[in-house]
Amino acid sequence: MAYSSQVLDHYENPRNVGSLDKTDPNVGTGMVGAPACGDVLKLQIKVNAESGIIEEAKFRTFGCGSAIASSSLVTEWVRGKTLDEALEIRNADIATELSLPPVKIHCSVLAEDAIKAAIEDYKKKRAANHQPAAGATGSGEPL
C-alpha cells in the first residue's frame, strides 16, 4: 500500500514519543486497542491544574504506520488545548489531515478514543483526590 507523505513523515519522525509518570495526579493515561487486534495506542496528557490546559502529551503505539501517525499527530494537536477543546477532535479530522485510506480509518478512530480515555483517566484521578477537575466545567478557561 502506498502511504501518504504525512503518514510517512510521522512514521519516520514521530512526535512526542515516550511516557509520563502515570502516578502524577496531573497526568491522564489512555490505552486503547488490543494486541490481538494489531493496534494498541497509549496516549498520556499532562494538564496544568491552574489553567486546565494540556501542557504535554506523549504516546507509544503498537500498530501499523497509520496508527503510529494518528497517535503522533494527536499529541501535537492536544497540546495547548483545554480538555473540552481536546474532546472536540474528531477522527475525521485526523483521517483528513493524514489522507488515510478507508481501510485505515479505524486508526483515526482509535486515536480519538485514546484522547477521550486519557481525559477520562485524568478527571477520575482528580475526582478521587477531591479536587475539581480542571477545565471540566468552565473553570480554567484558556488565558
What is residue 34's three-state secondary structure? strand
Nearer to another protein, 85 or 120 (CB): 120
Contacts of 141 (CB under 8 A, 6+ apart): 52, 82
For the chain, where are the E strands, in sequence order?
Answer: 27-34, 39-47, 54-62
67 touches another protein by CB under 8 A: yes
What is residue 82's three-state secondary structure? strand
111 touches another protein by CB under 8 A: no
Which residue in the list 12, 24, 37, 55 is annotated as catalytic? Answer: 37
Number of residues that bind another protein (CB under 8 A): 31
112 touches another protein by CB under 8 A: no
Residue of 52, 65, 135, 140 interacting with another protein (CB under 8 A): 65
Which range, of 60-68, 85-93, 118-126, 129-137, touches another protein by CB under 8 A?
60-68
Residue of 47, 54, 57, 64 interacting with another protein (CB under 8 A): 64
What's the Cα-to-Cα distance from 30 to each of 75, 80, 116, 139, rounded to whole Å? 12, 18, 7, 23
Catalytic residue flag (residue 64): no
37 touches another protein by CB under 8 A: yes
Take residue 59 and report the three cell numbers written for it. 504516546
Residue 132: other Cβ atoms inside 10 A: 15
CA 6, 3, 15: angle at the middle one, nearest 5? Answer: 35
Which range, of 49-57, 62-70, 73-81, 119-127, touches another protein by CB under 8 A?
62-70
**Footprint on this chain of another protein (rule: CB under 8 A):** 1, 3, 11, 14, 17, 19, 31-42, 60-65, 67-68, 103, 106, 109-110, 113
